Amino acid sequence: MEKEKIIFIYPKAFTFIETEIKLLSSEYQIISQDLNWANKYLLPFNLFLQFFFLVFNLFSTQKVLISFGGYWSLLPGLFGKIFSKKVAIVVHGTDCVSFPKINYGNLRIPLMRWFTKHSYQLADIILPVSGSLFYTENNYYSEETLKFGYSHHLKSIKTPYKIIPNGLIIEDWKSDNLTKEDKSFITVMTENQILRKGGDLIVKTAELLPECSFYIAGTKSIKNAPKNVICLGRLTPAELKSWYKNTQFYLQLSNFEGFGVSICEAMLCRCVPIVSDVNFLPTIVGESGFVLLKRDADLLKELIVIAFQKDLENLGIIAMERIKNNFPISKRKEMLISILNNL
């Protein structure tokens, strides 16, 4: 029996996008187009190419799946509305927030905000990877209560939504022969994520805990970091897994985080998580780790000292089981395909 065709639109072929294509390919014939949406100067050209891509492919399909709201999501949404095709948009984080204080979020950019808003209005359903992308608030970053989520920033959106959490390929992160370095911490962030991911807080805390080692994957260097902050640069998934296997804790001290795939990967390698009290992070951790309530180095040091007194081996096992039970790729696949089949 021939598989149903579905158009899949995305801004860039990230690793998790490739995973999404693989899991959907068991049910659908995926039709996609690779364009460089990151270069704003190519926007008119990309929209021109996308227009003809949709004209050529839309009439042989009934459904369009879009990953992230942005420049690339408006034409598919508009074509879907005009030609009665069902459109679903998966939202991940940056497409749901305006956070000028840390220079983060697509919704702080007027043109991107306009494209995103109208895309969400045209869609038949929005699929956030966590409920915090619809709406969330916290006092972690400052004493002021900060409010985020597309329902807050784009108040006119009435499109139905359904939360479908991210999923991980559990087998890819299965870890044996662990040799955890005592008092070691790891986190993942690129150079342009240092402020959002709490790299500055890690540097301050490392100065207070010189006996600890803080490894940062994805970053080549951090200005004025002490010697116990070791930047590992860009790592392959295999290299990253090896570091997870040898590190006691994973730090996810983000000021905003749509979901947090990296922390899930680390927890599968039995890293004990320490997270900021923002978005979905405390829910991911549950009883397996620790939550920092305020963005303060002294409070983080106190939390780490408390963590050292716990049974870290047992917490690592609890962390691993929590991800295996709650966020396997099979659960996301089942939910996503069910939504698409019933559009």
pTM, whole model, 2 decimals? 0.93
- CATH number reported for the structural domain that contains residue 256 in this entry: 3.40.50.2000
Are residues 138 and 34 part of one domain? yes
Pick out the chain residues at pLDDT < 50: none
pLDDT of residue 303: 98
Residues 289 and 273: their CA atoms lie apart, in Å, by 5
CB atoms within 10 A of CB 314: 12
Beta strand 125-128 with 63-67: parallel, antiparallel or unpaired?
Answer: unpaired
Are residues 88 and 40 part of one domain? yes
Helix (H) or strand (E) holding 8: strand 4-9
Q: Which residues pair with 186 in a beta bridge?
A: 215, 250
Are residues 318 and 337 part of one domain? no
Per-residue pLDDT tens digits for 221-279: 998 899 999 999 999 999 999 999 999 999 999 999 999 999 999 999 999 999 999 99
Per-residue pLDDT tens digits for 273-306: 999 999 999 999 999 999 999 999 999 999 999 9
Are residues 199 and 52 part of one domain? no
Residues 76 and 54: their CA atoms lie apart, in Å, by 7
Are residues 316 and 179 part of one domain? yes
Are residues 193 and 112 part of one domain? no
Are residues 189 and 275 part of one domain? yes
Are residues 335 and 285 part of one domain? no
Q: Total domain count for the chain?
A: 2
**Residue 67 belongs to what domain range?**
4-167+329-341
Are residues 207 and 101 part of one domain? no
Are residues 231 and 151 part of one domain? no
Residues 187 and 165: their CA atoms lie apart, in Å, by 21
Are residues 274 and 247 part of one domain? yes
Q: Which amino acid belongs to residue 29?
A: Q
Are residues 333 and 219 part of one domain? no
Which 3 state secondary structure label does DSSP give 48?
Answer: helix
